[in-house]
């Protein structure tokens, strides 16, 4: 007889699933199990479902999407087939070393892990005697505090939470001290002013620069950091406790950042007067001051040794107040001139005549040097200047050095032709002065003509 036909696997599977509820479209099947593989109780299952719903709500996702995301993360954490094969080979090798089969070796490892877990649980859980002793001690402490046991327990919980909060705040403060602080400008504080006064009293090898049309003192960051690390700073800290303490590199940088934080000194960089196409009309005609940087303030204030900072802090105002008082006294003395003694008034008259004579001599010299240049420009091209730095932006004594100098052609760098000086009268403004020390009388050319300037 023929055996009865066996149901196909798909048909049998469908028959088994007829009595089970099928998931709705758009839902994801997710079986909840405990870490040890056991089925959870209804209470545990309800708590786990509530936790999943809460986590999905925090993530801004629906529950099926959140479960699908968890599954994708678990699948991503699963080892690849190559890793599984390597692990199986390593397991077989270890079992062979132990003289056991692979299933026996796996069972042995599981037994050892379970024994370790049980030992840890037993070590963590107190014995009944310890629990009884703890309850007695708790009752005694509550009685000493004049409180009931539940009230005393609540107090201990509140104290523990406050202590944890203090520890977190202390850890955050320590972390902020170790890490460099971002620079956010604010009002000056006494520590920053004390630091600025100390640094201004040190030799930072400052140089003059032009910031917004004003002369300012510029210094390098590395020299300021060296001054803060010097023994002079420690001596100043003993006299002025407002100066910050330097422990490590982070505290050193945070100390220096007090200057830009209080807008006492700011980072600058060399500016190009022709940068961009939105400069004011006639800006290209502004004459650059020789030897001085024209700087601009950088938005990103950093603390690196190679950067430059400019002082915005003018220091203590004692000198300015003394100067103002002196100026007021001079004005008051001039107003009281009729009450001066005769000898003093006579001396002032002679002094004023001498000053007027010097002023007249200066104007006469300026007119004479212009006439001399006009004559020599046609007689001995390219022309001779008397006191070529007289009206330059230099010091008083440098205005009279050198005594004389030749004119130098700047815009026309070719060889000098005698016909060019008479071609147009506007070519006079295209010259710069050259000192007599840089002029070669034999070849009638400049010694510094290395950029194809040739002879004049």
Distance from C-alpha of 141 to C-alpha of 156, rounded to nearest angstrom = 11
Interior angle at CA 378, CA 372 and CA 380, nearest 5: 80
Report the percent of the chain where pLDDT is more than 90: 21
Q: Tell me the backbone φ, ψ of residue 84, rounded to 5 degrees.
A: -60, -40
Contact at 8 Å (CB) between 101 and 109? no
3-state secondary structure string across 97-128: HCCCCHHHHHHHHHHHHHHHHHHHHHHHCCCH
Residues in CB range of 243: below 8 A, 6 or more apart: 191, 194, 195, 198, 233, 236, 237
Is the pLDDT at 50 greater than 70? The verdict is: yes
The pLDDT confidence band at residue 235, using thresholds 50, 70 and 90, is very high
Average pLDDT over the chain, rounded to an integer: 77
Q: What is the pLDDT of residue 170?
A: 81
Least confident range from 84-88, 118-122, 227-231, 263-267: namely 118-122
Mean pLDDT of 370-385: 89
- CA dihedral over 163, 165, 170, 171, signed as positive or negative: positive
Least confident range from 122-131, 160-169, 294-303, 349-358: namely 122-131
Q: What is the pLDDT of residue 320?
A: 83
Residues in CB range of 12: below 8 A, 6 or more apart: none
Distance from C-alpha of 272 to C-alpha of 295, rounded to nearest angstrom = 8
Q: What is the pLDDT of residue 36?
A: 53
Contact at 8 Å (CB) between 124 and 130? no
Contact at 8 Å (CB) between 268 and 308? yes
Q: Which helix (H) or strand (E) element contains residue 297?
A: strand 293-297
Distance from C-alpha of 45 to C-alpha of 42, rounded to nearest angstrom = 5
Identify whether 192 is preceded by a cis peptide bond (ω within 30 of 0).
no
Is the pLDDT at 34 greater than 50? The verdict is: yes
Q: What is the pLDDT of residue 38?
A: 63
161-197: per-residue pLDDT in tens? 888 888 888 877 776 665 555 555 556 788 999 999 9
Distance from C-alpha of 201 to C-alpha of 233, rounded to nearest angstrom = 11
Residue with tokens 């170790």: 178
- pTM of the shown model: 0.36
């Amino acid at each position: 007889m023929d055996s009865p036909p066996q149901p196909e696997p798909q048909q049998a599977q469908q028959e088994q699933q007829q009595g089970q509820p099928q998931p709705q479209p758009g839902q994801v099947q997710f079986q909840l199990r405990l870490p040890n593989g056991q089925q959870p109780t209804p209470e545990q299952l309800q708590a786990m479902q509530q936790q999943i719903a809460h986590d999905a709500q925090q993530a801004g996702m629906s529950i099926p999407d959140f479960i699908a995301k968890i599954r994708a993360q678990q699948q991503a954490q699963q080892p690849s087939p190559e890793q599984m094969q390597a692990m199986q080979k390593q397991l077989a090798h270890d079992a062979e070393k132990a003289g056991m089969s692979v299933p026996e070796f796996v069972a042995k490892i599981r037994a050892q892990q379970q024994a370790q877990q049980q030992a840890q649980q037993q070590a963590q859980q107190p014995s009944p005697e310890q629990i009884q002793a703890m309850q007695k001690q708790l009752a005694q402490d509550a009685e000493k505090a004049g409180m009931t046991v539940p009230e005393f327990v609540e107090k201990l919980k509140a104290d523990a939470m406050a202590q944890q909060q203090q520890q977190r705040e202390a850890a955050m403060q320590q972390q902020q001290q170790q890490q460099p602080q971002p620079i956010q400008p604010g009002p000056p504080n006494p520590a920053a002013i004390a630091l600025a006064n100390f640094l201004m009293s040190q030799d930072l090898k400052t140089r003059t620069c032009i910031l917004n049309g004003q002369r300012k003192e510029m210094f390098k960051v590395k020299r300021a950091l060296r001054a803060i690390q010097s023994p002079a700073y420690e001596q100043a800290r003993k006299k002025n406790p407002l100066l910050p303490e330097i422990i490590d590199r982070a505290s050193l940088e945070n100390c220096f950042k007090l200057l830009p934080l209080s807008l006492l000194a700011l980072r600058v960089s060399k500016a190009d007067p022709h940068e961009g196409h939105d400069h004011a009309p006639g800006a290209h005609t502004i004459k650059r001051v020789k030897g001085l940087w024209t700087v601009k303030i950088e938005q990103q204030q950093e603390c690196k040794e190679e950067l430059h900072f400019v002082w915005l802090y003018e220091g203590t105002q004692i000198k300015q107040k003394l100067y103002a008082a002196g100026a007021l006294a001079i004005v008051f003395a001039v107003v009281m001139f009729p009450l001066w003694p005769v000898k003093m008034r006579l001396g002032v008259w002679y002094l004023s005549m001498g000053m007027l004579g010097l002023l007249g001599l200066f104007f006469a010299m300026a007119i004479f040097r212009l006439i001399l240049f006009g004559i020599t420009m046609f007689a001995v091209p390219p022309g001779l200047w008397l006191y070529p730095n007289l009206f330059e932006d230099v010091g008083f004594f440098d205005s009279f050095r050198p005594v004389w100098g030749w004119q130098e052609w700047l815009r026309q760098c070719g060889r000098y032709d005698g016909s060019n000086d008479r071609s147009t009268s506007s070519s006079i403004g295209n010259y710069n002065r050259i000192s007599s020390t840089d002029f070669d009388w034999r070849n009638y050319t400049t010694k510094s003509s290395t950029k194809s300037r040739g002879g004049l």
